[in-house]
Amino acid sequence: MNRFFFIGLSIAIVAFLTSNFLLLFGEKSIISKELYVSEYEQAYTHTYTETLPKEALTAPQDTMEIYVQDHEALEQWLVKEGDAVTAGAELARLNESESEDQRAIWQSEQSALQAERSEVQSTLQELTQARASQDSSVSEDSNNSSSYPGFGEDMEQELRMDVNVSVGVEVPEDGSYASGIAQAQQRLAAIDSELAVVEAQLAQSQENPALISPVEGTVASINRDTEPLSIEIYNNEREFVTYLLEDEWHEVEQADRVFIQAPGIEGAIPGTVRSVSEIPAEESKWFEAYRKLGRIEQNNPIAFYEVRIAPETPLQDKMPYGSNVNAEITLDEAQDAIALRDGWVYDDDDTTGTAYTLNIDGRPNAVPVEIAFSQQGRVVLASGMEAGDITINEEQLHDYPGRPKLFMPFPSRTPDFNYAKNTEWRAYIEYLLAR
């Protein structure tokens, strides 16, 4: 009898506990619950920046190359590598008997350069107008299938021919003119530089013919052996050159802020991105040095793009050409922004997500947030939270159909070593006695 009584009592107790457990924790339970949250913090604002670190090299802002076509025209070099020269300084003495022939060569070069400059300018203008016309047409009618809106077939063919002849770039069928325009602008700058050199030579006196420097700078190299003989001059204005990979190119823009750390210079040198090339970098001593410094290997061997960084203040004589520096390009910046720990934003897709905050009633709120970028283990928010909000990290909130009340540990503050060291012993005694 007693055995059946205890068996029945045990079954009743188990059934009672099970029913209460279901009523309390079941999915359809209406009994309010409390959830313990161990991780939380109060949001505060700060300025966050996303940067791209790069190896960079100190380079001249501009380079001049001066040629002498005939070996017999040159009598004697008057400078050597590393010499500083001023604008108008004599670089080499010319043979008087050969100077007329050399002058005729310079005059021919001047005429050819002026003609080429006019042609490239015309091509650049046509490309710019065609691109503007295309953009306008696309905005008005997205179904327009013409590659060159506003131009007939003859004009389209003429444009392609001009670009091929002048700057060596063929505009693709989809009407993307950016590459052709960029290369035309680059060629115009090169022509202007070459014209300045030739015009400087032609402006000199014919009584004492000499090869003169069109700019103030430093002699970089002299070709004394193979024709045409030449001398290369770096101008005194220095800047920095680095290179972007294909995936980095989309992140860097002209006028982005840059900070440079250089050996021997205290503090960071501020600067801005002066130019970002759309064309793969050509072989040069700067490009070769960059690849060796970075030890970069990638599948596409030509996907390197030159970036020129201009310092805010002149760097003349502060560092040698070719010196290696560390550059940090600022890609993004968020001022007075809130950043949460990595993993505290749920259901995120790199641009949006959800965060949990504590409301005044002690219950959680699911807050949609916009993500600016991630940095050093934190997710920087563009919007969604305000300073002073209590943010919560608790994955179990996803499993609760309602909004349970939360209870959390009291915040604790442990004095650091400096605080303890500067506290008198009497304070410790008083604290112990007060306990």
- Find out whether 133 and 150 touch, Cβ atoms under 8 Å: yes
Cis peptide before 228 (omega within 30 of 0): yes
Q: What is the pLDDT of residue 20?
A: 77
Q: Which residue, chain included where needed, has tokens 């969604």?
A: 384
Q: What is the pLDDT of residue 402?
A: 67
**Checking DSSP bridges between strand 269-280 and strand 257-261, what pairing results, if any?**
antiparallel
Pick the closest to residue 391 from 350, 339, 349, 353 (CA basis): 339
Q: What is the pLDDT of residue 164?
A: 47
Q: How confident is the model at residue 190 (pLDDT cuts 50, 70, 90)?
A: confident
Q: What is the pLDDT of residue 425?
A: 74
Burial state string for 390-404 with b = 16 or more CB within 10 A and e = fewer than 16: bbbbbeebeeeeebb
**Cross-sheet strand order for the sheet of 210-212:** 74-77, 90-94, 210-212
Phi-psi region of 264 (alpha: psi -120 to 50; beta: other; left: phi over 0): left
What is the sign, positive or negative, of the torsion defined by CA atoms of 6, 7, 9, 10?
A: positive
Pick the closest to residue 113 from 180, 181, 202, 177 (CA basis): 202
Q: In the predicted model, is pLDDT for residue 274 greater than 60? A: yes
Question: Rounded to an integer, what distance in angstroms lies between the CA atom of residue 167 and that of residue 144?
Answer: 28
Beta strands in 281-377 (DSSP E): 304-311, 324-341, 352-358, 364-375
Q: What is the pLDDT of residues 380-415, one digit of tens each?
A: 998 889 888 988 887 777 766 667 778 777 766 666
% of the chain residues with pLDDT over 70: 81
Q: Where is average pLDDT lowest: 157-166, 234-243, 260-269, 408-417?
A: 157-166
HSE of 429, CA atoms in CB hemisphere, 13 A:
3
Q: What is the pLDDT of residue 158?
A: 46
DSSP bridge partners of 358: 364
- The topology under which CATH files domain 51-61+237-332 is Elongation Factor Tu (Ef-tu); domain 3 (2.40.30)
- For the chain, where do the domains classified as CATH 2.40.420.20 start and end? 34-46+334-429
Q: Which residue, chain included where needed, has tokens 């949006």?
A: 352
% of the chain residues with pLDDT over 90: 21
Q: Which CATH number fits domain 34-46+334-429: 3.40.50.1970, 3.40.50.980, 2.40.420.20, 3.30.460.80?
A: 2.40.420.20
Q: What is the pLDDT of residue 421?
A: 75
Question: Rounded to an integer, what distance in angstroms lies between the CA atom of residue 22 and that of residue 98?
Answer: 108
Q: What tokens were used for 3?
A: 């055995």
Q: Where is average pLDDT lowest: 84-93, 278-287, 354-363, 420-429?
A: 420-429
Question: Rounded to an integer, what distance in angstroms lies between the CA atom of residue 384 and that of residue 345?
Answer: 11
Pick the closest to residue 148 from 138, 139, 140 (CA basis): 138
Residue 9 DSSP one-character state = H
Q: What is the pLDDT of residues 6-51, one digit of tens each?
A: 778 888 888 888 887 777 666 566 666 677 788 888 898 998 898 9
Question: Rounded to an integer, what distance in angstroms lies between the CA atom of residue 14 and that of residue 10?
Answer: 6
Q: How confident is the model at residue 191 (pLDDT cuts 50, 70, 90)?
A: confident
**Checking DSSP bridges between strand 405-407 and strand 34-36, what pairing results, if any?**
parallel
Q: What is the pLDDT of residue 305?
A: 94
Q: In the predicted model, is pLDDT for residue 173 greater than 50? A: no
Q: Where is average pLDDT lowest: 89-98, 169-178, 251-260?
A: 169-178
With a threshold of 0.75, does the pTM exceed it? no
Cα-Cα-Cα-Cα torsion 137, 139, 143, 147, nearest 10 degrees, comes to: 40
Question: Rounded to an integer, what distance in angstroms lies between the CA atom of residue 392 and that of residue 207?
Answer: 86
**301 φ, ψ (degrees, to nearest 5):** -70, -15
For the stretch 45-48, contacts whose Cβ atoms lie closer than 8 Å and that sit 24 or more positions apart, written own/partner, are 45/336, 45/337, 45/338, 45/387, 46/336, 46/337, 46/338, 46/339, 47/333, 47/334, 47/335, 47/336, 47/337, 48/333, 48/334, 48/337, 48/339, 48/372, 48/373, 48/375, 48/378, 48/380
Q: What is the pLDDT of residue 165?
A: 44
- For the chain, where do the domains classified as CATH 2.40.30.170 start and end? 51-61+237-332
Pick the closest to residue 71 from 96, 98, 97 (CA basis): 98
Q: Mean pLDDT of all residues in the chain?
A: 79
DSSP bridge partners of 276: 307
Q: Where is average pLDDT lowest: 152-156, 262-266, 348-352?
A: 152-156
DSSP codes of every residue in 230-247 = EEEEEES-EEEEEEEEHH
Question: Rounded to an integer, what distance in angstroms lies between the CA atom of residue 288 and that of residue 417?
Answer: 51
